[in-house]
Structure 1
Amino acid sequence: MAAHPSITVAVHGATGRMGRVLLNAIEHAHDLRLVGTASRSTAIALTEAGEDARLHDTVESMLAAERPDVVVDFSARDAVLPLARAAAQSGVDFVTGTSGLSPEILEELRAIADDHNIGVMVGPNFSLGAVVLERVAREAGRHFDHAEIIEMHHAGKADAPSGSAMATARTMVEARDGKAFTNAESRVVNVDDVRGGDISGVAIHSVRLPGLMAHQQVLLGGPGETLTLRHDVIDRESYMPGVLLAIREVGNRHGQLTYGLGALLWPEQEGE
Protein backbone atom coordinates (compact mmCIF):
# COMPACT_ATOMS: atom_id res chain seq x y z
CA MET A 1 0.00 0.00 0.00
CA ALA A 2 1.40 3.38 -1.00
CA ALA A 3 2.12 5.79 1.82
CA HIS A 4 0.13 9.01 2.02
CA PRO A 5 2.25 12.03 1.10
CA SER A 6 3.38 14.11 4.03
CA ILE A 7 2.23 17.68 4.55
CA THR A 8 5.32 19.85 4.24
CA VAL A 9 5.62 22.52 6.93
CA ALA A 10 7.77 25.61 7.47
CA VAL A 11 7.93 27.42 10.81
CA HIS A 12 8.41 31.16 11.35
CA GLY A 13 9.51 32.14 14.83
CA ALA A 14 11.43 28.89 15.09
CA THR A 15 13.89 30.04 17.74
CA GLY A 16 11.21 31.24 20.16
CA ARG A 17 9.79 29.29 23.08
CA MET A 18 6.82 27.94 21.15
CA GLY A 19 8.76 27.53 17.93
CA ARG A 20 11.31 25.18 19.43
CA VAL A 21 8.64 22.96 20.97
CA LEU A 22 6.77 22.93 17.64
CA LEU A 23 9.83 21.81 15.69
CA ASN A 24 10.11 18.74 17.88
CA ALA A 25 6.39 17.97 17.59
CA ILE A 26 6.46 18.15 13.78
CA GLU A 27 9.52 15.92 13.61
CA HIS A 28 7.64 13.24 15.57
CA ALA A 29 4.43 13.46 13.53
CA HIS A 30 4.36 10.67 10.93
CA ASP A 31 2.26 12.65 8.41
CA LEU A 32 4.17 15.96 8.59
CA ARG A 33 7.58 16.90 7.24
CA LEU A 34 9.50 19.95 8.39
CA VAL A 35 11.23 21.55 5.39
CA GLY A 36 12.31 24.99 6.58
CA THR A 37 12.46 27.48 9.42
CA ALA A 38 12.79 31.23 9.68
CA SER A 39 13.54 33.50 12.60
CA ARG A 40 14.63 37.04 13.36
CA SER A 41 17.28 35.49 15.59
CA THR A 42 19.69 32.79 14.47
CA ALA A 43 21.45 32.57 17.83
CA ILE A 44 20.02 29.19 18.73
CA ALA A 45 21.28 26.06 17.00
CA LEU A 46 18.18 24.26 15.75
CA THR A 47 19.46 20.73 16.13
CA GLU A 48 15.91 19.50 16.78
CA ALA A 49 14.81 20.70 13.33
CA GLY A 50 16.40 17.79 11.52
CA GLU A 51 18.78 17.70 8.58
CA ASP A 52 16.16 18.63 5.96
CA ALA A 53 14.96 21.84 7.62
CA ARG A 54 17.16 24.81 6.75
CA LEU A 55 17.12 28.03 8.77
CA HIS A 56 16.36 31.22 6.79
CA ASP A 57 16.67 34.87 7.77
CA THR A 58 13.39 35.85 6.10
CA VAL A 59 10.08 34.16 5.41
CA GLU A 60 10.32 35.18 1.76
CA SER A 61 13.56 33.24 1.25
CA MET A 62 12.10 30.30 3.14
CA LEU A 63 8.96 30.19 1.00
CA ALA A 64 10.91 30.54 -2.23
CA ALA A 65 13.44 27.84 -1.36
CA GLU A 66 11.28 25.27 0.43
CA ARG A 67 7.80 25.61 -1.18
CA PRO A 68 5.95 24.23 1.88
CA ASP A 69 2.27 23.32 1.99
CA VAL A 70 1.77 25.22 5.25
CA VAL A 71 3.70 27.95 7.06
CA VAL A 72 3.18 28.20 10.83
CA ASP A 73 3.88 31.43 12.68
CA PHE A 74 4.65 32.02 16.34
CA SER A 75 6.33 35.40 16.37
CA ALA A 76 5.08 38.96 16.84
CA ARG A 77 1.79 40.68 16.10
CA ASP A 78 3.29 43.18 13.66
CA ALA A 79 4.68 40.32 11.58
CA VAL A 80 1.39 38.50 11.02
CA LEU A 81 0.00 40.44 8.04
CA PRO A 82 3.30 40.60 6.11
CA LEU A 83 3.74 36.86 6.68
CA ALA A 84 0.20 36.08 5.58
CA ARG A 85 0.63 38.18 2.43
CA ALA A 86 3.91 36.46 1.60
CA ALA A 87 2.33 33.04 2.12
CA ALA A 88 -0.65 34.01 -0.04
CA GLN A 89 1.59 35.19 -2.88
CA SER A 90 3.21 31.75 -2.84
CA GLY A 91 -0.11 29.88 -2.55
CA VAL A 92 0.84 28.53 0.88
CA ASP A 93 -1.69 27.97 3.67
CA PHE A 94 -1.07 29.98 6.84
CA VAL A 95 -1.47 29.11 10.53
CA THR A 96 -0.67 31.58 13.31
CA GLY A 97 -0.75 31.31 17.08
CA THR A 98 0.48 34.86 17.61
CA SER A 99 -1.58 36.46 20.34
CA GLY A 100 -3.67 39.60 20.56
CA LEU A 101 -4.72 40.17 16.94
CA SER A 102 -7.15 43.06 16.51
CA PRO A 103 -10.50 42.78 14.67
CA GLU A 104 -8.94 44.85 11.87
CA ILE A 105 -6.09 42.37 11.44
CA LEU A 106 -8.56 39.48 11.43
CA GLU A 107 -10.63 41.13 8.70
CA GLU A 108 -7.50 41.64 6.61
CA LEU A 109 -6.59 37.97 7.08
CA ARG A 110 -10.10 37.01 5.99
CA ALA A 111 -9.68 39.07 2.82
CA ILE A 112 -6.27 37.51 2.12
CA ALA A 113 -7.73 34.00 2.40
CA ASP A 114 -10.61 34.87 0.10
CA ASP A 115 -8.59 36.79 -2.50
CA HIS A 116 -5.87 34.12 -2.83
CA ASN A 117 -7.97 31.00 -2.09
CA ILE A 118 -5.70 29.82 0.72
CA GLY A 119 -6.55 28.50 4.15
CA VAL A 120 -5.82 30.87 7.05
CA MET A 121 -6.08 29.61 10.62
CA VAL A 122 -5.80 31.87 13.68
CA GLY A 123 -5.53 30.21 17.07
CA PRO A 124 -5.77 32.57 20.05
CA ASN A 125 -5.03 29.46 22.10
CA PHE A 126 -4.14 26.00 20.78
CA SER A 127 -4.52 24.26 24.15
CA LEU A 128 -7.41 21.81 24.06
CA GLY A 129 -8.27 22.56 27.69
CA ALA A 130 -8.38 26.31 27.08
CA VAL A 131 -10.71 25.84 24.11
CA VAL A 132 -13.02 23.66 26.20
CA LEU A 133 -13.01 26.34 28.92
CA GLU A 134 -13.97 28.96 26.33
CA ARG A 135 -16.83 26.79 25.13
CA VAL A 136 -18.15 26.24 28.66
CA ALA A 137 -17.78 29.95 29.44
CA ARG A 138 -19.77 30.77 26.31
CA GLU A 139 -22.66 28.65 27.51
CA ALA A 140 -22.42 29.88 31.10
CA GLY A 141 -22.46 33.49 29.92
CA ARG A 142 -26.00 33.03 28.63
CA HIS A 143 -27.20 32.55 32.20
CA PHE A 144 -25.18 35.11 34.20
CA ASP A 145 -25.13 38.89 33.80
CA HIS A 146 -21.84 39.51 35.63
CA ALA A 147 -18.50 38.12 34.47
CA GLU A 148 -14.81 38.85 34.99
CA ILE A 149 -11.66 37.20 33.65
CA ILE A 150 -8.28 36.91 35.35
CA GLU A 151 -5.49 35.84 33.02
CA MET A 152 -2.01 35.10 34.38
CA HIS A 153 1.14 34.61 32.32
CA HIS A 154 4.91 34.52 32.58
CA ALA A 155 6.70 37.83 32.95
CA GLY A 156 8.04 37.71 29.38
CA LYS A 157 4.65 37.77 27.64
CA ALA A 158 4.58 40.81 25.37
CA ASP A 159 0.86 41.61 25.22
CA ALA A 160 -1.88 42.22 27.76
CA PRO A 161 -4.55 41.14 28.02
CA SER A 162 -3.92 37.80 26.38
CA GLY A 163 -5.56 36.89 23.10
CA SER A 164 -7.27 33.99 24.87
CA ALA A 165 -8.87 36.27 27.44
CA MET A 166 -10.14 38.64 24.75
CA ALA A 167 -11.47 35.75 22.66
CA THR A 168 -13.24 34.28 25.69
CA ALA A 169 -14.89 37.61 26.54
CA ARG A 170 -16.01 38.19 22.95
CA THR A 171 -17.48 34.72 22.49
CA MET A 172 -19.38 35.07 25.78
CA VAL A 173 -20.92 38.32 24.53
CA GLU A 174 -21.69 36.79 21.12
CA ALA A 175 -23.60 33.97 22.84
CA ARG A 176 -25.85 36.63 24.37
CA ASP A 177 -26.61 38.09 20.92
CA GLY A 178 -24.31 40.99 21.69
CA LYS A 179 -25.92 41.94 25.01
CA ALA A 180 -23.22 43.39 27.25
CA PHE A 181 -22.54 42.08 30.72
CA THR A 182 -23.07 44.30 33.76
CA ASN A 183 -19.77 45.55 35.14
CA ALA A 184 -20.13 46.54 38.79
CA GLU A 185 -18.71 50.02 39.29
CA SER A 186 -16.80 51.03 42.40
CA ARG A 187 -17.99 54.29 43.94
CA VAL A 188 -14.48 55.07 45.19
CA VAL A 189 -11.39 54.16 43.12
CA ASN A 190 -8.15 54.48 45.08
CA VAL A 191 -5.81 53.28 42.31
CA ASP A 192 -6.27 54.04 38.60
CA ASP A 193 -7.36 51.11 36.39
CA VAL A 194 -7.67 48.78 39.39
CA ARG A 195 -10.87 47.31 37.95
CA GLY A 196 -9.05 46.13 34.83
CA GLY A 197 -9.90 46.47 31.16
CA ASP A 198 -13.38 46.02 29.74
CA ILE A 199 -14.86 44.15 26.78
CA SER A 200 -18.63 44.64 26.64
CA GLY A 201 -18.93 44.62 30.41
CA VAL A 202 -16.51 41.74 31.02
CA ALA A 203 -13.68 43.07 33.23
CA ILE A 204 -10.29 41.56 32.34
CA HIS A 205 -7.35 41.55 34.73
CA SER A 206 -3.81 40.65 33.63
CA VAL A 207 -1.11 39.23 35.92
CA ARG A 208 2.54 38.91 34.80
CA LEU A 209 4.92 37.07 37.12
CA PRO A 210 8.01 34.87 36.93
CA GLY A 211 7.07 31.28 37.72
CA LEU A 212 3.78 31.37 35.82
CA MET A 213 3.15 29.77 32.43
CA ALA A 214 -0.40 30.45 31.17
CA HIS A 215 -3.50 30.46 33.35
CA GLN A 216 -7.04 31.77 33.01
CA GLN A 217 -10.02 32.06 35.32
CA VAL A 218 -13.52 33.04 34.27
CA LEU A 219 -15.69 34.17 37.17
CA LEU A 220 -19.43 34.55 36.77
CA GLY A 221 -21.82 35.84 39.43
CA GLY A 222 -25.52 35.86 40.07
CA PRO A 223 -27.83 36.31 43.07
CA GLY A 224 -26.42 34.20 45.90
CA GLU A 225 -23.90 32.24 43.79
CA THR A 226 -20.69 32.34 41.76
CA LEU A 227 -19.25 30.01 39.14
CA THR A 228 -15.48 29.78 38.60
CA LEU A 229 -13.90 28.15 35.55
CA ARG A 230 -10.13 27.71 35.50
CA HIS A 231 -7.52 26.34 33.13
CA ASP A 232 -3.77 26.00 33.71
CA VAL A 233 -1.00 25.34 31.22
CA ILE A 234 1.97 23.71 32.92
CA ASP A 235 4.05 22.95 29.83
CA ARG A 236 4.03 24.24 26.23
CA GLU A 237 3.62 20.65 25.05
CA SER A 238 -0.08 21.16 25.81
CA TYR A 239 -0.41 23.37 22.71
CA MET A 240 1.02 20.84 20.27
CA PRO A 241 -2.03 18.61 19.59
CA GLY A 242 -4.02 21.71 18.65
CA VAL A 243 -1.29 23.16 16.43
CA LEU A 244 -0.81 19.86 14.61
CA LEU A 245 -4.58 19.58 14.08
CA ALA A 246 -4.59 23.07 12.55
CA ILE A 247 -1.72 22.17 10.21
CA ARG A 248 -3.60 19.07 9.05
CA GLU A 249 -6.94 20.81 8.55
CA VAL A 250 -6.11 24.27 7.18
CA GLY A 251 -5.66 22.86 3.68
CA ASN A 252 -9.30 21.72 3.72
CA ARG A 253 -10.47 25.29 4.34
CA HIS A 254 -9.28 27.23 1.31
CA GLY A 255 -10.78 30.65 0.76
CA GLN A 256 -11.67 31.26 4.37
CA LEU A 257 -10.38 32.42 7.73
CA THR A 258 -10.82 29.91 10.52
CA TYR A 259 -10.72 31.58 13.93
CA GLY A 260 -10.20 29.43 16.98
CA LEU A 261 -9.52 25.75 17.47
CA GLY A 262 -13.15 25.19 18.40
CA ALA A 263 -14.11 25.49 14.73
CA LEU A 264 -12.08 22.32 14.09
CA LEU A 265 -13.19 20.45 17.21
CA TRP A 266 -16.90 21.23 16.74
CA PRO A 267 -17.31 22.08 13.04
CA GLU A 268 -21.05 21.43 13.11
CA GLN A 269 -21.47 24.44 15.41
CA GLU A 270 -19.04 26.79 13.67
CA GLY A 271 -20.39 30.32 13.51
CA GLU A 272 -23.02 29.72 16.16
Structure 2
Amino acid sequence: MIRVSVIGAKGRMGQHVVAAVRNAKYMELALTIDAGEDITAITPENTDVAVEFSVPSASLENVRALVKSGVHVVVGTTGWTEEKMDIVRADLKEHPGLSVFIAPNFAISTVLAEYFAAQAAKYFESAEIVELHHPDKVDAPSGTALHTAHALAAARQAAGMPNIPDNTQTDGGSRGQVVDGIHVHAVRLRGLNAHEEILFGNAGEQLVIRADSFDRTSFMPGVLLAVRKAGTRAGLSVGLDQYLDL
Protein backbone atom coordinates (compact mmCIF):
# COMPACT_ATOMS: atom_id res chain seq x y z
CA MET A 1 0.00 0.00 0.00
CA ILE A 2 1.45 3.38 -1.05
CA ARG A 3 0.64 6.23 1.31
CA VAL A 4 0.15 9.42 -0.73
CA SER A 5 -0.08 13.01 0.51
CA VAL A 6 -1.27 15.80 -1.77
CA ILE A 7 -0.06 19.41 -1.65
CA GLY A 8 -2.51 21.83 -3.24
CA ALA A 9 -5.33 19.40 -2.56
CA LYS A 10 -8.10 22.00 -2.98
CA GLY A 11 -6.79 23.30 -6.29
CA ARG A 12 -8.15 22.37 -9.69
CA MET A 13 -5.61 19.61 -10.23
CA GLY A 14 -5.24 18.71 -6.56
CA GLN A 15 -8.91 17.78 -6.23
CA HIS A 16 -8.57 15.34 -9.13
CA VAL A 17 -5.41 13.85 -7.62
CA VAL A 18 -7.16 13.30 -4.27
CA ALA A 19 -10.04 11.53 -6.02
CA ALA A 20 -7.69 9.43 -8.17
CA VAL A 21 -5.65 8.30 -5.16
CA ARG A 22 -8.79 7.37 -3.22
CA ASN A 23 -9.98 5.25 -6.14
CA ALA A 24 -6.62 3.65 -6.98
CA LYS A 25 -5.70 0.12 -5.98
CA TYR A 26 -2.91 -0.26 -3.45
CA MET A 27 -2.90 3.44 -2.57
CA GLU A 28 -4.27 5.34 0.37
CA LEU A 29 -4.64 9.05 0.94
CA ALA A 30 -2.45 10.17 3.84
CA LEU A 31 -2.56 13.97 4.24
CA THR A 32 -3.92 16.88 2.22
CA ILE A 33 -2.11 20.22 2.46
CA ASP A 34 -3.13 23.62 1.09
CA ALA A 35 -1.77 27.17 1.17
CA GLY A 36 -1.10 28.33 4.71
CA GLU A 37 -0.95 24.81 6.13
CA ASP A 38 2.18 23.20 7.55
CA ILE A 39 3.91 21.08 4.91
CA THR A 40 6.29 19.68 7.54
CA ALA A 41 3.36 17.58 8.77
CA ILE A 42 4.27 15.28 5.86
CA THR A 43 6.95 12.85 7.06
CA PRO A 44 8.20 9.35 6.17
CA GLU A 45 6.19 8.07 9.13
CA ASN A 46 2.88 8.95 7.42
CA THR A 47 3.76 9.36 3.72
CA ASP A 48 5.60 7.36 1.06
CA VAL A 49 5.04 9.77 -1.84
CA ALA A 50 3.95 13.41 -1.88
CA VAL A 51 2.23 14.80 -4.98
CA GLU A 52 2.89 18.53 -5.36
CA PHE A 53 0.36 20.59 -7.35
CA SER A 54 0.65 24.11 -5.93
CA VAL A 55 1.68 27.31 -7.76
CA PRO A 56 5.03 28.16 -9.40
CA SER A 57 5.93 30.71 -6.71
CA ALA A 58 5.63 28.09 -3.93
CA SER A 59 6.64 24.85 -5.62
CA LEU A 60 10.41 25.05 -5.17
CA GLU A 61 10.25 25.64 -1.42
CA ASN A 62 7.59 22.95 -1.06
CA VAL A 63 9.79 20.41 -2.83
CA ARG A 64 12.85 21.40 -0.80
CA ALA A 65 10.89 20.95 2.44
CA LEU A 66 9.67 17.51 1.35
CA VAL A 67 13.19 16.43 0.37
CA LYS A 68 14.47 17.62 3.73
CA SER A 69 11.77 15.50 5.39
CA GLY A 70 12.89 12.44 3.41
CA VAL A 71 9.76 11.90 1.28
CA HIS A 72 9.67 10.99 -2.43
CA VAL A 73 8.04 13.78 -4.47
CA VAL A 74 6.00 13.83 -7.69
CA VAL A 75 5.68 17.39 -9.02
CA GLY A 76 3.00 18.59 -11.41
CA THR A 77 3.39 22.33 -10.82
CA THR A 78 4.76 24.19 -13.85
CA GLY A 79 7.27 27.03 -14.00
CA TRP A 80 10.40 24.99 -13.31
CA THR A 81 13.70 26.31 -14.68
CA GLU A 82 17.12 24.68 -14.84
CA GLU A 83 18.23 26.99 -12.03
CA LYS A 84 15.44 25.78 -9.77
CA MET A 85 16.10 22.15 -10.67
CA ASP A 86 19.79 22.60 -9.88
CA ILE A 87 18.83 23.70 -6.37
CA VAL A 88 16.80 20.50 -5.92
CA ARG A 89 19.65 18.40 -7.34
CA ALA A 90 21.97 19.91 -4.75
CA ASP A 91 19.50 19.13 -1.96
CA LEU A 92 19.13 15.54 -3.16
CA LYS A 93 22.87 14.94 -2.83
CA GLU A 94 22.31 14.95 0.92
CA HIS A 95 19.50 12.38 0.58
CA PRO A 96 20.78 9.45 -1.50
CA GLY A 97 18.03 7.11 -2.63
CA LEU A 98 15.36 9.82 -2.55
CA SER A 99 13.56 10.74 -5.77
CA VAL A 100 11.97 13.91 -7.11
CA PHE A 101 10.04 13.53 -10.35
CA ILE A 102 8.89 16.60 -12.32
CA ALA A 103 6.43 16.19 -15.18
CA PRO A 104 5.90 19.05 -17.63
CA ASN A 105 2.73 17.16 -18.54
CA PHE A 106 1.04 14.05 -17.15
CA ALA A 107 -1.19 13.39 -20.17
CA ILE A 108 0.13 10.27 -21.87
CA SER A 109 -1.13 11.55 -25.24
CA THR A 110 0.98 14.69 -24.88
CA VAL A 111 4.06 12.76 -23.77
CA LEU A 112 3.73 10.52 -26.83
CA ALA A 113 3.19 13.54 -29.10
CA GLU A 114 6.45 15.05 -27.87
CA TYR A 115 8.25 11.74 -28.37
CA PHE A 116 6.94 11.39 -31.94
CA ALA A 117 7.80 15.03 -32.64
CA ALA A 118 11.40 14.54 -31.53
CA GLN A 119 11.68 11.67 -34.02
CA ALA A 120 10.19 13.80 -36.81
CA ALA A 121 12.20 16.95 -36.08
CA LYS A 122 15.33 15.79 -37.90
CA TYR A 123 13.46 15.29 -41.18
CA PHE A 124 11.79 18.70 -41.59
CA GLU A 125 13.24 22.09 -42.47
CA SER A 126 10.72 24.04 -40.39
CA ALA A 127 9.12 23.43 -36.99
CA GLU A 128 6.88 25.50 -34.71
CA ILE A 129 4.76 24.85 -31.63
CA VAL A 130 1.32 26.17 -30.74
CA GLU A 131 0.03 25.51 -27.23
CA LEU A 132 -3.58 26.29 -26.31
CA HIS A 133 -4.94 26.50 -22.76
CA HIS A 134 -7.73 27.98 -20.65
CA PRO A 135 -7.25 31.63 -19.58
CA ASP A 136 -6.82 30.71 -15.89
CA LYS A 137 -3.38 29.23 -16.59
CA VAL A 138 -0.76 31.46 -14.98
CA ASP A 139 2.31 30.70 -17.13
CA ALA A 140 2.95 31.12 -20.84
CA PRO A 141 4.31 29.39 -22.78
CA SER A 142 3.33 26.23 -20.97
CA GLY A 143 5.95 24.01 -19.39
CA THR A 144 4.93 21.31 -21.84
CA ALA A 145 5.59 23.53 -24.85
CA LEU A 146 8.97 24.60 -23.48
CA HIS A 147 9.92 20.97 -22.86
CA THR A 148 8.83 20.06 -26.39
CA ALA A 149 10.84 22.92 -27.88
CA HIS A 150 13.98 21.79 -26.07
CA ALA A 151 13.41 18.22 -27.32
CA LEU A 152 12.96 19.36 -30.94
CA ALA A 153 16.04 21.57 -30.78
CA ALA A 154 18.16 18.75 -29.34
CA ALA A 155 17.01 16.35 -32.06
CA ARG A 156 17.74 18.89 -34.80
CA GLN A 157 21.17 19.67 -33.38
CA ALA A 158 22.06 15.98 -33.12
CA ALA A 159 21.09 15.57 -36.78
CA GLY A 160 23.25 18.55 -37.82
CA MET A 161 20.32 20.53 -39.19
CA PRO A 162 20.65 24.25 -40.00
CA ASN A 163 18.65 27.00 -38.32
CA ILE A 164 14.95 27.12 -39.16
CA PRO A 165 14.37 29.58 -42.03
CA ASP A 166 12.46 32.74 -41.09
CA ASN A 167 12.77 36.09 -42.86
CA THR A 168 9.90 37.74 -41.00
CA GLN A 169 10.38 41.42 -40.10
CA THR A 170 9.04 41.50 -36.55
CA ASP A 171 8.97 45.25 -35.87
CA GLY A 172 5.51 45.82 -34.45
CA GLY A 173 4.56 42.18 -35.05
CA SER A 174 4.64 38.89 -33.18
CA ARG A 175 6.25 35.55 -33.87
CA GLY A 176 5.96 34.01 -30.43
CA GLN A 177 8.72 33.25 -27.94
CA VAL A 178 11.85 31.69 -29.41
CA VAL A 179 13.03 28.69 -27.39
CA ASP A 180 16.28 27.11 -28.58
CA GLY A 181 15.50 28.42 -32.06
CA ILE A 182 11.90 27.07 -32.06
CA HIS A 183 9.01 29.55 -32.20
CA VAL A 184 6.42 28.81 -29.51
CA HIS A 185 2.97 30.41 -29.59
CA ALA A 186 0.57 30.53 -26.62
CA VAL A 187 -3.22 30.80 -26.96
CA ARG A 188 -5.45 31.46 -23.92
CA LEU A 189 -9.11 30.92 -24.69
CA ARG A 190 -12.18 30.20 -22.57
CA GLY A 191 -13.49 26.71 -23.28
CA LEU A 192 -10.07 25.16 -23.85
CA ASN A 193 -8.33 22.84 -21.42
CA ALA A 194 -4.84 21.74 -22.54
CA HIS A 195 -3.81 21.30 -26.16
CA GLU A 196 -0.57 21.28 -28.15
CA GLU A 197 0.23 21.27 -31.85
CA ILE A 198 3.70 20.64 -33.24
CA LEU A 199 3.92 21.71 -36.87
CA PHE A 200 6.60 20.57 -39.32
CA GLY A 201 7.15 21.72 -42.89
CA ASN A 202 9.20 20.88 -45.95
CA ALA A 203 8.75 22.12 -49.49
CA GLY A 204 5.40 20.72 -50.60
CA GLU A 205 4.50 18.87 -47.40
CA GLN A 206 3.40 19.39 -43.82
CA LEU A 207 3.13 17.19 -40.72
CA VAL A 208 1.00 18.19 -37.72
CA ILE A 209 1.15 16.27 -34.44
CA ARG A 210 -1.58 17.30 -32.01
CA ALA A 211 -2.52 16.19 -28.51
CA ASP A 212 -5.74 17.25 -26.77
CA SER A 213 -6.66 16.90 -23.11
CA PHE A 214 -10.32 17.78 -22.80
CA ASP A 215 -10.58 17.17 -19.08
CA ARG A 216 -8.15 17.12 -16.15
CA THR A 217 -9.01 13.48 -15.53
CA SER A 218 -6.78 12.76 -18.55
CA PHE A 219 -3.74 13.57 -16.39
CA MET A 220 -4.55 11.10 -13.62
CA PRO A 221 -3.20 7.85 -15.18
CA GLY A 222 0.14 9.62 -15.60
CA VAL A 223 0.09 10.92 -12.02
CA LEU A 224 -0.66 7.47 -10.62
CA LEU A 225 2.06 5.92 -12.79
CA ALA A 226 4.59 8.42 -11.41
CA VAL A 227 3.48 7.68 -7.85
CA ARG A 228 3.93 3.94 -8.39
CA LYS A 229 7.39 4.49 -9.90
CA ALA A 230 8.55 6.90 -7.16
CA GLY A 231 11.80 5.75 -5.62
CA THR A 232 12.78 3.49 -8.52
CA ARG A 233 15.05 6.21 -9.93
CA ALA A 234 17.01 8.15 -7.33
CA GLY A 235 17.68 11.85 -7.79
CA LEU A 236 15.82 14.30 -10.02
CA SER A 237 13.96 13.01 -13.10
CA VAL A 238 12.02 15.07 -15.62
CA GLY A 239 9.40 13.81 -18.06
CA LEU A 240 6.90 10.98 -17.97
CA ASP A 241 8.53 9.44 -21.05
CA GLN A 242 11.12 7.90 -18.70
CA TYR A 243 8.39 5.70 -17.25
CA LEU A 244 6.86 4.65 -20.60
CA ASP A 245 8.12 1.87 -22.85
CA LEU A 246 9.44 4.13 -25.62
- TM more than 0.5: yes
1:200-237 CA deviation, whole Å, 9 max, x = no partner?
A: 22100000011110011000111111111111111111
Question: Quick check: 161-170 or 87-96, which moved more?
Answer: 87-96
Correspondence 1:82 to 2:61: yes
1:184 counterpart = 2:179:
no
Report Cα offsets for 1:25-84 as digits up to 9, x if no partner: 00011111111011117xxxxxxxxxxxxxxx1212x31596311111111112222112
CA distance, structure 1, for counterparts of residue 45 and residue 7 of structure 2: 13
The match for 1:102 is 81
2:7 maps to what in 1?
12
Structure 1, 173-182 or 257-266: larger mean CA deviation:
173-182
- Specify the code of the residue in structure 1 equivalent to 2:63: A
CA distance, structure 2, for counterparts of residue 261 and residue 98 of structure 1: 14
Q: Report what 1:220 is aligned to.
A: 200
- Give % identity: 39
Q: Secondary structure at the match of 2:123?
A: coil
Does the 8 Å contact 2:121/2:200 carry over to 1? yes
Q: 1:154 aligns with which of 125, 134, 140?
A: 134
Matched, 1:263 2:242: yes
Q: CA 1:138–1:67 in 2, change beyond 3 Å: closer, same or farther?
A: same
CA deviation vs aligned residue, 1:131-158 (integer Å, no higher than 9, x gap): 0000000001111131110000001000
Do residues 36 (structure 1) and 17 (structure 2) align? no
Aligned with 1:191: secondary structure?
Answer: coil
Q: Which amino acid aligns with 1:33?
A: E
2:179 maps to which of 199, 203, 220: 199
Q: Distance in 2 between matches of 1:147 and 1:176?
A: 10
Give, in whole Å, the separation in 2 of the partners of 1:18 and 1:198.
29
Take 1:201 and 1:31, find their aligned partners in 2: how far apart are those partners? 44
The change in CA–CA distance for 1:181 and 1:121 in structure 2 (over 3 A counts) is farther
Q: For 2:72 and 2:43, how far apart are their aligned partners in 1?
A: 14
- Alpha carbons of 1:148 and 1:129: their partners in 2 closer, same or farther (altered >3 Å)? same
5+ residue gaps in structure 1? 1-5, 42-56
TM superposition outliers: structure 1 runs of 4+ over 6 Å: none
| Structure 2: gaps (5+ residues) | none
Q: Distance in 2 between matches of 1:102 and 1:236?
A: 24
Partner of 1:134, secondary structure, is helix
Aligned length: 243
